[in-house]
Chains A and B, each alone.
Chain A
Amino acid sequence: MPETPSALGMRARIQDAVVKYGFIAITVILFLYFSLTEPAFATSSSLFLLLKFASVTAILGLGVTFTMVVGGLDLSIGATAGLTVQLAAMTMVFYNLTGTTAVVIALIGGVVVGLMNAFLIVVAKIPDLLATLGMMFVIMGAKLIPVSGQSVSSGMVLRDGSVAPGSFTPEFLKIDRGFLGPVPLPVVIMLVLVVASWFFLSRTTWGRLMYAIGANPEAARLSGVRVGLYRGLAYVISGLFASIAGLILVSRIGQGDVNAGASSLLEAVAVALVGTSVLGLAKPNAWGTFLGALLIGIVLTGLTMKGFQYYHQDTAKGLVLIVALLFSFTISRRKVRYSPAT
């Protein structure tokens, strides 16, 4: 029912303010609470550590954000990150190649997965969720075959009985462990990608066209938008981001863990969804996803410092997501929409 300006009273304005700033307020309050009760929390080193751990989730969340912008969802993103972990490890450990080669091969791997998703969704016309779900299983399974289900680590015995010739190069390990000034490299990478994604999505024509597809694909098509091209592009970007996150992850753990990345899908989707709530934009957007990753990072770091065990973490993440969705769907007077954040 249309509302007249006079009907937009105090209550509605308060409601809007709560939706717009409520989530940020919660983040700030939690931050202050942990800072005041745990002196170690607000030191620069632990804050950088927090950001560093949030970086993988944030970058994967950005990938998911792109696919949500075009009205889809990339469920294969965690598996793609896991594939990258193994590709990079195999390049260095099995074939004794340089860290740079490993990075290039990993990025190519991510883009190839993105292209395959794009093919299934755009050309084969399989619904986004189902196509990427299928890809998720294929990737998770296929990567086990060449390594017989083993994690890739230097000095491991290969199938033919020989010992793997290579190992993780020091430069490669710097991806996670290096610094730019006082700032850890993964944090730098994350911030660059956040800013780039924001700029791409809200300031360029490509981003605008992607939001148009998310808002109404048929209306976009009848406006002359090449819907398939941009939907596909979103999945390629998602695959690329997944491989970047995977590179940080493999550099962090220092081996090609077969299980790496498996758990990060839910987190990535969660932060992207949290991102639709912050700022009251009611649509997927890059800064929102970043703030979502940050909030989950604060909650997890804070709880860990308070002595909660790891097995409390998933519950905490889930509650954060539900609170965020309450802001989006329950309190907000705006319907959640996929249209650009400016």
Chain B
Amino acid sequence: MQHMDSPEEQEVFASGANDSEPVLELEDITMSFGSNEVLKGVTLKLRPGRVTALLGANGAGKSTLIKILSGVYADHGGLIRIGGLPVVMDTPLAAARQGIQTVHQRIDETIVPGLTVAENLVFEEIVRGEIPPVRSLKRLLPRAREIAATLDLGWPDATLTKDVFELGNADSQMLLLARALSQRPKVLVLDEPTSTLSTTEVERLFTLVRRLCSEGVAILYVTHRLSEVHEIADDLVVLRDGQVQSRQRAPFDMPEAVRSMLGESTLDEVSHLVEQRGTQVALHLERVQLLRRSEPIDVDLRYGEVTGIIGLIGAGKSELARGIFGADHWRQGTMSLDGEDYAPHHTADAVRRRIFLVPEDRTADAMLPGWSVAWTKSLPFLGTVSRSGILNFKRERASGDTLLSEFGVVSTGPDQVVDALSGGNQQKVVVGRWMQSGPRVLLLDEPFRGVDIGARGDIARRARNQAGEGACVVVFTSDVEEIREIADRIIVLVEGEIRLDSYTTEIDNDAIVTSMSEVN
């Protein structure tokens, strides 16, 4: 094991062992938004034929770094060298010209809807005017076939002429990758490329990454998943608080990487999890069919414990959560709450019974643009801050204040607009408004997404306290470390069916991961 603590050591080591010259060098890159220093001097070298994994918690500065590499942010400090020569990349096009291609995480932001698959494949050429704007299929199909062939996508012309929206997530991801590769990049940046892929598709991607490496492409692989780092990376860089915390070469010391990613304090808290076991059933689900092709499941969710429901994307977690909350309806299945039939037609039915949901996508589904903290808090419970329908602003503001102080939200007061808060503080507001209203069942769907470490630990602790006070808390996530941090009981969901149901203390990570990756 070769593990380095400081960048200097790494340099000594690298110059001794590495044969190839770096193709891309970042030197002391800094970036600030207003007074908020996001990158505090990042130095990074990418060498041809090597995969460098970039790990970091949310808010570590990963996405800012990626945007600098792809030419989105030009006003950064420090120096970028390509092949030893300093370059300025002030537009995405400039970055592409320097041989850097980035495949961004959000597919929907990079795919052009309404165009065919083929048109999306040759999009760069269309933009650059190399293929005429009147897009005759005859002229662009051969090029599209060529690009698709580089990845062995095996798409027939029928697929190429389809609307791009008919592709699944995985194929869209492959399309973007093919598009990036068609530009013959020297450096390829992959930003969480597997988040929407199935296991077999991930394998396909890895085979491809290895092939690119052998062809001499330098790859920066940004991910949250340690297993992937293990499998694919040659070098590992951990970013925290805008700085490189540690560098390693394979084989990696993963516990060390996690420690430097999260910081020591949070990991201590994890080990202090005191198990709570509930006995009384809150929700009883019977013959609930989550996905189109899944078998119905039965499950009991109990008061007094935190149930963690873990599964990959598409395992049916959100379907389960939204069905309990009455936001969507299952294909079949019934529920009972405290032994009585419970069939919510509307979210209002759930809220009235104090069954609350914190949705997965905070910005899209939980926040109201331009709304203050006090208003966001009171929205589901306007009855408590009004009399005969007339709002009492004073009481509303006071209620907002208790949320701010109890949850330690950093803000200017209850009138502060939620959009202006940091991700962690936003999440505290949308979680806190439910927690302060005496939940019977609290459903948290990916509660730690886009949340800094401090807020994450805080929300986890409070969720556990809620369960300790008797609530039925259910957390939905795809992150094994997260679930161990918060849940007393773990249920593994695979393709809409339950594969494992156990107390956290009776099971190790391997067993969880194994059952998560079991596919029929």
Contacts and interface: CB of A to CB of B under 8 A. Distances in A.
A206 B369 CA distance: 19
Given A4-B35, A206-B389, A223 B379 contact: yes
6 contacts: A2-B34, A212-B368, A223-B379, A224-B348, A339-B369, A339-B375
For the complex of A and B, the 4 pairs showing the least CB-CB separation, nearest first, are A224-B351, A215-B368, A337-B370, A205-B382
B391 interface: yes
B368 A208 contact: no
B34 A1 contact: yes
Contacts of B33: 1-2
A205 B383 contact: yes
A204 to B, nearest CB: 5
A3 interface: yes
B346 A209 contact: no
Given A224-B352, A339-B371, A218 B380 contact: no
A218 B371 CA distance: 15
B327 interface: yes
B36 A2 contact: yes
Interface in B355-381: 357, 359, 364-371, 375, 379-380
What bracket does the count of chain B residues touching chain A fall in? 20 to 34
A204 B351 contact: no
Nearest to B420: A2
A224 B386 contact: no
A222 interface: yes
Q: For chain A, what secondary structure do more than half of its interface residues adopt (helix, strand, loop), or is it mixed?
A: loop
Contacts of A315: none
A338 to B, nearest CB: 8
B350 interface: yes
A224 B365 CA distance: 12
Given A216-B367, A342-B393, A223 B380 contact: yes
A55 B386 CA distance: 32
Contacts of A223: 347, 351, 379-380
Given A2-B33, A2-B420, A342-B393, A222 B347 contact: yes
Interface in B253-295: none
A212 B359 CA distance: 17
Interface in A2-38: 2-4, 6-7
Interface string A255-287: 000000000000000000000000000110000
Interface string B376-409: 0001101100100111010000000000000000
A225 interface: yes
Nearest to A200: B389
A203 interface: yes
Given A222-B327, A223-B379, A224-B352, A205 B346 contact: no
B366 to A, nearest CB: 5
A224 B347 contact: yes
Interface of A: 1-4, 6-7, 203-206, 208-209, 212, 215-216, 218-226, 282-283, 334-335, 337, 339-340, 342
A3 B34 contact: yes
Contacts of A2: 33-34, 36, 420
Given A205-B389, A206-B389, A224 B34 contact: no
Nearest to A213: B368
Nearest to A206: B389
A204 B391 contact: yes
A205 B386 contact: yes
A216 B368 contact: yes
Given A4-B35, A209-B382, A222-B327, 15 more contacts: A4-B34, A204-B386, A205-B383, A205-B386, A206-B389, A208-B379, A212-B379, A216-B367, A218-B365, A219-B365, A219-B366, A222-B366, A225-B379, A335-B370, A342-B393
Contact of B347 (A221, A282, A283): A221
Interface in B14-62: 33-36
A219 B391 CA distance: 20
A335 B420 CA distance: 13
Contacts of A226: 346, 348
Nearest to A204: B389
A220 B348 contact: no
Residue of B327, B370, B389, B391 contacting most chain A CB atoms (<10 Å): B370
Contacts of A203: 390-391
Residue of A208, A220, A223 contacting most chain B CB atoms (<10 Å): A223
A212 B375 CA distance: 9
A205 B388 CA distance: 9
B59 to A, nearest CB: 14
B236 to A, nearest CB: 31
A283 B375 CA distance: 16
Contacts of B393: 342
A242 to B, nearest CB: 24
Contacts of B327: 221-222
A222 B10 CA distance: 50
A283 B371 CA distance: 12
Contacts of B35: 4, 6
A225 B350 CA distance: 11
Given A204-B389, A224-B352, A216 B347 contact: no
A175 to B, nearest CB: 30
Residue of B347, B350, B368 contacting most chain A CB atoms (<10 Å): B368
A219 B348 contact: no
Contacts of B367: 216, 219
A108 B421 CA distance: 47
Contacts of B375: 208, 339-340
Contacts of A220: 368, 379
Contact of B391 (A208, A221, A283): A208
B369 A337 contact: yes
A337 B367 CA distance: 13
B348 A225 contact: yes
Contacts of B36: 2
B34 A205 contact: no
Nearest to A340: B375
Contacts of B420: 2
Nearest to A202: B391
Contacts of A216: 364-365, 367-369
